[in-house]
Amino acid sequence: GNLEWLDKNKTSFLIMWRRPEEWGKLIYQWVTKNGLTNSVFTLYELASGDDTENEEFHGLDEAMLLRALQALQQEHKAEIITLDDGRGVKFF
């Protein structure tokens, strides 16, 4: 369940430590535990900010972070937004 084919000929694949949905769950647990619902974060703040330094998702690759946030967006727990200097996310 943690392997995903990257092409239709199945010549390259991605092995994930955790699935995007699992990363999303960890991120959302951190948001709710710290009372940060209705807050906006840049992707940089989530992956590299001082506030997340001791969290498992700190340092997460931006592509995987986006996939995790997309999973949360499908659950109506977050919305990915465009900011002046890049992308961000608002949590509900």
Q: How confident is the model at residue 65, as a pLDDT?
A: 96
Structure-model confidence comparison of residues 51 and 14, the more confident one = 51
The one-letter amino acid code at 3 reads L
Q: How confident is the model at residue 5, as a pLDDT?
A: 85
Q: How confident is the model at residue 64, as a pLDDT?
A: 93
CATH (residue range 19-91): 1.10.10.10
Q: CB within 8 A of 6, min separation 6: which ones?
A: 12, 13, 14
Statement: residue 26 has pLDDT above 90: yes
pLDDT single digits (tens) 49-86: 999 999 999 999 998 999 999 999 999 999 999 988 78
Cα 34 to Cα 89: distance, rounded to the nearest angstrom = 16
